[in-house]
Structure 1
Amino acid sequence: MQTSIILIVFLPLFAAIIGGIINKSMPSVVTKAVTTGALFVACALSWPIFLSFVSGDATATVVPVLQWMQSGDLTFDWALRVDTLTAVMLVVVTTVSALVHLYSWGYMEEDPDQPRFFAYLSLFTFAMLMLVTADNLVQMFFGWEGVGLASYLLIGFWFKKPSANAAAMKAFVVNRVGDLGFMLGIFGTFLVFGTVSIPEILAAAPGMSGASIGSLGYRANTMDVLCVLLFIGAMGKSAQLGLHTWLPDAMEGPTPVSALIHAATMVTAGVFMVCRLSPMFEAAPFALGLVTFIGAATCIFAATVGTTQWDIKRVIAYSTCSQLGYMFFAAGVGAYGAAMFHLFTHAFFKALLFLGAGSVIHAMHHEQDMRYYGALRKEIPFTFYAMLAGTLAITGVGVYHLGIGFAGFWSKDAILEVAYARGTELGQFAFWMGTLAALLTSFYSWRLMFLTFWGKPRWADSEHIQHAVHHGHDEPEEHNPPVQEDAGDDVKHHVPSPNYLAGTAGYHPHESPISMLIPLGILSLGAVLAGQLFAPTFLDSASFWNGAIFYNEPLIHAMHATPYPVKYAAAIVMLLGLLAAWMAYIRDTSLPAKGAEQLGPVYRFFYNKWYFDELYDRVFVKPSLWLGRQFWKLGDVGTIDRFGPNGAAWVVERGSVLAKRVQSGYVYSYALVMLLGLVAAVTYVLV
């Protein structure tokens, strides 16, 4: 197993280095083959490790890599820890990454910078694997920052687009806010426990329950302080309410990046960290309550925003944000196994939805606005059925009494049941917010499907389709013309010229190449079967987790004993959301515009993402820019430059003018100066 673990972690790094060195010196197919092959090998090695934990044949293993650092009491090595929790993440990360690599062969075919793109993908995967195999907090932070760097590079891959650069910077800066909390949490943990070794910290954590720490005359629960700081880091990386604003803007990156970052890897790092440190959080009741509240609030916030968006990728991005909220409030009520199970199933159906959206965008010449879709199910049938499987999974279609259902049915319903079974006020709050979010999830998911695959073709109004008809070939997505939206209408207020509209009726969307369809087929199997196959293992088997997380067995028993209305709540609201979407986008397509007009301020509030971006712009961005200008103009230019280099230059300049006047070239002038100097010297000596 040790050799397999070494290969799983370091093959992506090797591939990234090779891809970066080769770059454009050789055909791009070489870089693509090296990076994709390395990820498929890592994936093939990860599944046997995971299945060995499922069967109970494996135990936790630590593989030493090298001695890293020793400074006073701070000592830690680079070691790869593989237990049940890590095995789950290895499967998720390598599977999704390998399929994204393969998918990118078709999606990025026209891009001139494919070697750089594939090298970035492999670098991101290596950083994520470093994070999930960390045996100490410093190593975890190393991987944590690595995925932050790689995500910056991938989101801003099309760096010639100002919007892509801005999105990359936004993701980087917002994550730095969360990372500051994570750093302080690591510092505080070392201060309290005297070590950064995760096993040693988790073993000592229960003994710290009730301990307090003081500063500036105030005292607080030690574990609450540490866990809140650590959770702030998770909020940034997993885009929880308050530090979520970077996630939708990250859609500026290529669609495969959206699937990799927002489906199974970077955004789930925060959930993984909370579950990894679950014994610490169990000793911190306030921190657990905060995790529950923030998760539930994020769940409903993102769901409300998702119902109003028109960009197909942004709808799925807000869906990701909402599903992460489910995972966090599951962890907050103590059901870490349920949180990880939803992380596992979510990876399959969300990657499927993102890659399916990319296939739609590919078919529609990089058009992303759903108002320009319609009637695509007969044009791209394979993509349609794949996205249908993903939609059935995320909305939680299944029958409890028959024991059958898609992936989301098993994991999301379990989270709602366990929140109710917890019996606390925060648990009840999470249950009701989660149930309402399930209603909205069903609505916006079927809204996406109906707008995209049903109805009449609305392709003629799209500038991208017009470009395809009149130019006859695809261009890289970075050259897309800007999209102008109106929050209150079902169609854009931009009216194409008659010359553009002429002939667009002859455009026929095309199915994606085989390299893009294979990942869709594999992920569809995951969306259908992942929950069915692994629900008992993740939810009911304490031996499966074997101490990798805090397993609350009485809570799981209480979950199974919840009343039937609770068990069927998600199914009921799913059907209501489906019915509402069908009424609005199939039966009477005038209803959305009427509803938006009647709701007025509420609709605009949701459409504008609760005005978080505008609020942050006024509270943080503009004051920061103003303060920066003051430091620049008054401090740098007005003080440092004025009395420093510019002042010295002025003195030299004025001195040169005076010296030039003395240097007249006349002998009598020099004689006079010499005489005056002699008189001054004699006077000085006499006095």
Structure 2
Amino acid sequence: MYLLILWLPLLGSIFSGFGGRFLGLKGSSIISVVCVFLSMFLSFVAFYEVGLMGLNYCIVLSPWIEVGILKISWSFLFDSLTVTMLVVITVISSLVHLYSLEYMQNDPHLPRFMSFLEIFTFFMLILVTADNLVQMFVGWEGVGLASYLLINFWFTRLAANQSAIKALVVNRIGDFGLSLGILTAFYIFQSVDYFLIFSLSPLFTNYCLNFGGINISGLTLIGVFLFIGAVGKSAQLGLHTWLPDAMEGPTPVSALIHAATMVTAGVFLLIRFSPLIEFSSTVLNILVVFGSFTAFFAGMSGIFQNDLKRVIAYSTCSQLGYMVFACGISCYNVSIFHLANHAFFKALLFLSAGSVIHALANEQDMRRMGSLIRFLPLTYSLMLIGSLALAGFPFLTGFYSKDFILELAQVTLNKNIHFIEGSFACWLGNLSVFFTAFYSFRLIYLTFVNSANTTRKNILKSHEPSLLMLIPLIVLGFGSIFIGYVGKDLFIGLGTDFWKSSVMILPSNSYSIEAEWLKINLKWLPFVLSTFGIVLATIINITKTHKYLYNIFYRNICFLINKKWYWDVLYNRFVVYPILNFGYSVSFKNLDRGFIELVGPYGFSKIIPIWSYIFSKLQTGQLSHYLFFIVLGVCLFFLIIFNQTQMLIFYSVLIFFI
């Protein structure tokens, strides 16, 4: 049963991909949807057995690699963390598959699209079920490949080509860091198995590696390399530039990437390696700083974006920052809880955005929308639910996890143990709440409430989607309302033993109990900030007060943020262009066309005919000459091998026989 969860998406991908031409659109669609829904059903059964009944499974299929002490098997681990991710991945993937049947119905390449979606799901399932680093890396790279194929699905568009290549290249940096982490872990622990690494980690807290006379903690080095991998996949500050551009793919792809698969892989990696990261305070501090800066930066960047999907993409980047700095304050259970909650309301937002784009003939600019509340009332209601959940409105799904993360950040600040990191997590995290609420309701006003700013033809043609698109939206809407409340006590309740050994938190790093005794005014702070963001967005959009703020300073700040803080420009100017110039001016012109050609085709090539003429003269055809050269060669050979004493004996014997 457990292996069928993985094999069903793979079989569906093979049948719909290779047999799409024979099965047709309906046949390949039915096969792919049935396979992924069966996988979802089995994931619920696995969640019941493993998560609720407490039965862990480790299934070993066969040996894979055996070289010296490196022994790797195809084996799968099913614990509480794994089955939680299985439910999230398969549920979101199933709803996205169902949604895609209607959204992509006019695309002639629908079988290829469904095949790519299922192979994406399969590789993500491989990633979360692996019980060793190398097998996890297979899923990690497979997810990157599938994201490239899906972002570049409409490969005739230049923007899609550029975005897919950008996602692939930027993620190579993170993948290189992860590969270094795998090699370092193998060097230190002599194994890549999770069980062995996690059980030995407490014994290696004082183990150091020497680089140029500098001692570096081995666990810290592994943690930093793993974090670099997570920075690439989960789009943390520095390697985040690929995520907003990934919107060039079809909307169901965006929903799957942002809610359940690719961007959650980095956070899952950090949570999975909690038994190792817990013993390195340096790595924890790095997670806090980078996560809080990412949440703040992405939240501010989303304010002045005008593309509907790009605004939601920046909100994903911001929420991933919350998950990462929750790992940094050793609240891995809260991080995975927020990951599960975020999957539902983020998939709801993306699929609702797809409904709007579908209704407006592929229009994505929010400035060319408006008044859709009259024509798309159900989509408006569902997107409002998703936006409120994203903003952390009380008693919706996002409230139960995001506000608890901020409460825990307040605890770390009040304890004064990690004052600087706690300040980052607390204040930048709370400011991000304000920005999140502001851009969420700016999106609502520009898209649905404000006056229409599009053509009469588009407005009159806009209508609610069919039932195939509405069912996933309604299911995700209910999930965005109730999942947080239903799962709170199970996942992060005091005294819960749901996670067992899959997540490890040292007693000195546990702040969940202290969060219960936090002052009530500090607990209200996120709600006050989100309310202020909603009110400010309402005032600006109703009264048009932004016209009175239109001075040089305000215009420059807006322009700077709208241009994403010029990260792409800086990368191009200081990284990409110098490398391209080096490749052309130095590598190509001076080395390939210069030194190598002078030495090779125009150097040695002129000497070779001369040497060939000399050697051809030595070919006299007389046997005595050939014997002379053979004996001379043998003597020179033994002259090199033997010492002088042995050479005297050899020459004496040789003279005797001659």
**1:544 correspondence with 2:498:** yes
Alpha-carbon distance change, 434 to 252 in structure 1, aligned in 2, over 3 angstroms: same
Provide the C-alpha distance between the structure 2 equivalents of 1:20 and 1:505, rounded to a whole number of angstroms: 35
- Partners in 2 of 1:649 and 1:119 — Cα distance? 53
Matched, 1:606 2:606: no
**Are the equivalent residues in 2 in contact too, given 1:542–1:551 (CA < 8 A)?**
no
What letter is aligned with 1:532? Y
Residues 77-116 of structure 1: pairs in structure 2 closer than 5 A:
77-116=73-112
Q: Residue in 1 aligned with 2:540?
A: 584
User: Match of 2:445, as an amino acid?
Assistant: F
Query: Distance in 2 between the 1:169 and 1:296 partners?
Result: 28
AA at the equivalent of 1:566:
L
- The aligned amino acid for 1:331 is C
Partner residue in 2 for 1:267: 263
Provide the residue aligned with 2:372 in structure 1. Answer: 376
Structure 2 regions of 5+ residues with no counterpart? 610-658
Q: The residue matched to 1:64 in structure 2 has which SS?
A: strand
When the two chains are superposed, the root-mean-square deviation of aligned CA atoms in Å is 1.9
- Partner Cα separation in structure 2 for residue 592 and residue 153 of structure 1: 43
Aligned-pair CA distance for 1:652: 12
Q: d(CA) in 2 for partners of 1:418 and 1:91?
A: 26
Q: Distance in 1 between matches of 2:81 and 2:595?
A: 56
> Equivalents in 2 of 1:30, 1:650: separation in Å?
66
Q: What's 2:628 paired with?
A: none
Q: How far apart are 1:635 and its partner, in Å?
A: 2.5
Partner of 1:524: 477
Matched residue, 2:398: 408
Output aligned runs, 1:445-460, within 5 Å.
445-460=440-455
- 2:210 corresponding residue in structure 1: 214
1:435 pairs with one of 427, 430, 438: 430
The alignment partner of 1:242 has SS state of coil
CA distance in 2, matches of 1:318, 1:390: 15
Please give the secondary structure, in 2, of the residue aligned with 1:600: helix
Task: Kindly state the Cα deviation for residue 52 of structure 1 after the two structures are TM-superposed.
Answer: 3.7
For residues 347 and 63 of structure 1, the distance between their equivalents in structure 2, rounded to whole angstroms, comes to 28
Q: CA deviation at 1:651?
A: 11
Which one of 369, 389, 410 corresponds to residue 420 of structure 1?
410
| Cα distance in structure 2, aligned partners of 1:372 and 1:596 | 24
Q: By how many angstroms is 1:127 displaced?
A: 0.4
- Note if contact 1:255-1:354 (Cα within 8 Å) is conserved in structure 2: yes
- Report the more deviating stretch, 317-326 or 34-43: 34-43
Corresponding residue for residue 358 of structure 1: 354
Residues 156, 253 of structure 1: 8 Å contact kept = yes
Counterpart position of 2:24: 27
TM-score by length of 1: 0.85
Q: Take 2:56 and 2:28, find their aligned partners in 1: how far apart are those partners? A: 35
How many angstroms apart in 2 are the aligned matches of 1:454 and 1:253? 27
CA distance in 1, matches of 2:458, 2:570: 43
Corresponding residue of 2:590: 634
| Distance in structure 1 (CA, Å) of the matches to 2:582 and 2:463 | 52
5+ residue gaps, structure 1 = 399-404, 461-502, 654-687
Q: Which moved more, 1:546-555 or 1:565-574?
A: 546-555
Identify which range, 46-55 or 295-304, moves more after superposition.
Answer: 46-55
Letter in 2 for 1:10: W
Equivalent residue for 1:507? 460
Q: 2:527 aligns with which of 571, 575, 585?
A: 571
CA deviation map 1:37-62 (0-9, x unaligned): 1111101111122234453x132111
Between the aligned residues of both structures, percent identity stands at 43
Q: One-letter code of the match for 1:609?
A: K
CA displacement at 1:141 relative to structure 2: 0.6
The aligned amino acid for 1:555 is: Y
Give the Cα–Cα distance (whole angstroms) in 2 for the partners of residues 120 and 437 of structure 1: 34
- The alpha-carbon distance between structure 1 residues 645 and 406, as it changes in their structure 2 partners (threshold 3 A), is same
Q: Could you list the per-position Cα deviations for residues 469-503 of structure 1 after superposition, in whole angstroms to 9, with x for gaps in the alignment? A: xxxxxxxxxxxxxxxxxxxxxxxxxxxxxxxxxx6
In structure 1, the residue corresponding to 2:304 is in which secondary structure? coil
Distance verdict in 2 for CA 1:572–1:592, change over 3 Å = farther
Q: Say which of 495, 513, 517 aligns to 1:557.
A: 513
Q: Which amino acid aligns with 1:47?
A: F
Q: Paired residue for 1:314?
A: 310
- Residue identity matched to 2:474: G
Counterpart contact for 1:335–1:552, Cα < 8 Å:
no
Q: Structure 1 pair 647/221, CA: closer, same or farther in 2 (3 Å)?
A: closer
Once the two structures are superposed, what CA deviation does each residue of 1:35-86 show, in whole Å capped at 9, x if it has no partner?
111111101111122234453x132111122211110111111111010000
Residue identity in the other structure for 1:186: I
- Partner deviation per Cα, 1:384-434 (whole Å, 9 max, x = no partner): 111111111111111xxxxxx000000000100111112322123201111
Partner Cα distance (2:269, 2:284) in 1: 14
2:163 touches 2:246 (CA, 8 Å); kept in 1? yes
Task: Tell me if 1:137 matches 2:113.
Answer: no
TM-score of the superposed pair, with normalisation by structure 2 = 0.88
How many matched pairs? Answer: 600
